[in-house]
């Protein structure tokens, strides 16, 4: 099987010749892995090949005018949506943290005037060429990603998480307008990206963080009223191109999986095993055969805190639970953390490649 064959088989909840694998990592461990394999620090493709990664992204990048200013004195950078971030160092590396939340107190009028990107200003030609190249090489090509279509996080990066939850609970018109504006633009960007791929896109990846470690972030009734109709639009977009959908959900999120199945979602991503009702055994027993699974390798477990031997044993256990009957792709639950030993991450991917 090619990588494309493996991933499509899994999305159909079938059994491939080997488990497909995916990779996400923070900069520190990413750099150490490249050094381990003798690669340049910018050789992302070389690292994916070294790890045996089956997935490739063909989502267009923004190439339009600057809509929001950086704040160099504070180390703050802003993207085309106005989301502001700054680099935070910690003991083992660093990460980009969201800050300022410029629409926290914004009313409807302010949000209506807030500059947002035009779908015309994304590089669909580059996405087309990426899809052609990766598809010709046999990889599984996706559009979107875990951060696309995410209402709670996406709005939260501009309004703050507390305000977004208040928006949802109270039907705040300002928050609702921001969500609608973002959805309309993202739907059009993804539509054009799928068309640019010229039949070479294999699935659409979307996201919505819906859980804490101990339970749901919002209630099911609120999800169905405020978020499901917006998510359904992305699923319907994918269906119009005959593409399956995978959705990223952090934390305790299995409470909404029955709705995902009704909506036509093919696969769920992240699968944090530490969170409530997210153990591999529970997910496989409850949803196996009805949903495909992508993730489940904890970035807060043996890969981060154990030895290479413990990492191998842990990964084998997850594979033994999730692989029978098919429908499983091996991946970390989040980006691999900078304090994960290099040898553990190497052992993690070697275990996946050796397991049929």
CATH of the domain at 339: 3.20.20.210
| 71 within domain boundaries | no
Q: 228 lies in which domain range?
A: 3-65+106-354
Cα first-last separation, the chain: 12
| 192 within domain boundaries | yes
| 127 within domain boundaries | yes
Three-class secondary structure of residue 342 per DSSP: helix
> Contact, 103 vs 158, CB < 8 A?
yes
- DSSP labels for 36-67? HTT--TT-HHHHHHHHT--EEE-PPPB-S---
| 186 within domain boundaries | yes
Residue whose pair of structure tokens reads 């993804």 in the numeric block? 190
| 90 within domain boundaries | no
Q: What angle do CA 4, 282, 309 make, to 5 degrees?
A: 70
Adjacency order of strands within the sheet including 93-99: 76-78, 84-90, 93-99
The pTM (predicted TM-score) of the whole model is: 0.96
Q: What angle do CA 93, 269, 312 make, to 5 degrees?
A: 65
| Number of structural domains in the chain | 1
**32 closest CA partner among 350, 354, 342:** 342
If residue 159 lies in a helix (H) or strand (E), which one and from where to where?
helix 151-159
Q: What angle do CA 249, 81, 164 make, to 5 degrees?
A: 50
Paired sense of beta strands 55-57 and 84-90, if any: unpaired
| 236 within domain boundaries | yes
| 344 within domain boundaries | yes
| 91 within domain boundaries | no
Q: What one-character DSSP code corresponds to residue 300?
A: S
> Contact, 315 vs 350, CB < 8 A?
no
Measured distance CA(27)–CA(293) in Å, rounded:
26
Each residue's pLDDT, cut to its tens digit, for the chain (356 residues) gives: 999 999 999 999 999 999 999 999 999 999 999 999 999 999 999 999 999 999 999 999 999 999 999 999 999 999 999 999 999 998 888 889 999 999 999 999 999 999 999 999 999 999 999 999 999 999 999 999 999 999 999 999 999 999 999 999 999 999 999 999 999 999 999 999 999 999 999 999 999 999 999 999 999 999 999 999 999 999 999 999 999 999 999 999 999 999 999 999 999 999 999 999 999 999 999 999 999 999 999 999 999 999 999 999 999 999 999 999 999 999 999 999 999 999 999 999 999 988 64
């Amino acid at each position: 099987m090619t990588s494309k064959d493996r991933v499509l088989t899994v999305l159909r909840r079938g059994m491939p010749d080997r488990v497909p694998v995916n990779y996400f990592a923070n900069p520190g461990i990413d750099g150490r892995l490249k050094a381990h394999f003798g690669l340049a620090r910018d050789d992302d493709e070389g690292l994916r090949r070294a790890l045996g990664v089956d997935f490739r992204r063909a989502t267009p990048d923004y190439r339009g005018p600057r809509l929001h200013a950086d704040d160099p004195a504070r180390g703050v950078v802003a993207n085309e949506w106005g989301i502001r971030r700054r680099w935070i160092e910690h003991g083992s590396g660093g990460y980009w943290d969201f800050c300022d939340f410029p629409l926290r107190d914004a009313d409807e009028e302010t949000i209506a005037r807030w500059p947002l990107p035009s779908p015309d200003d994304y590089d669909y030609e580059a996405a087309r060429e990426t899809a052609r190249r990766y598809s010709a090489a046999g990889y599984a090509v996706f559009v979107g990603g875990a951060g696309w279509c995410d209402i709670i996080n996406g709005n939260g990066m501009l309004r703050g998480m507390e305000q977004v939850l208040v928006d949802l609970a109270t039907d705040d018109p300002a928050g609702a307008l921001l969500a609608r504006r973002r959805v309309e633009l993202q739907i059009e960007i993804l539509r054009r990206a799928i068309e640019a791929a010229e039949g070479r896109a294999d699935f659409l990846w979307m996201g919505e963080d819906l859980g804490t470690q101990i339970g749901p972030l919002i209630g099911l009734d609120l999800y169905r009223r405020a978020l499901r109709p917006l998510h359904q639009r992305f699923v319907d977009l994918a269906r119009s191109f005959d593409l399956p959908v995978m959705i990223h959900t952090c934390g305790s999120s299995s409470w909404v999986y029955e709705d995902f199945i009704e909506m036509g979602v093919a696969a769920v991503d992240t699968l944090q095993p530490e969170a409530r009702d997210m153990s591999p055994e529970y997910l496989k027993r409850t949803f196996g055969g009805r949903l495909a699974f992508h993730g489940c390798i904890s970035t807060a477990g043996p890969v981060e805190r154990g030895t290479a031997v413990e990492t191998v044993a842990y990964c084998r256990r997850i594979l033994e639970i999730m692989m029978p009957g098919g429908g499983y792709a091996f991946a970390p639950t989040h980006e691999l953390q900078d304090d994960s030993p290099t040898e553990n991450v190497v052992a993690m991917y070697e275990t996946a490649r050796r397991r049929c």
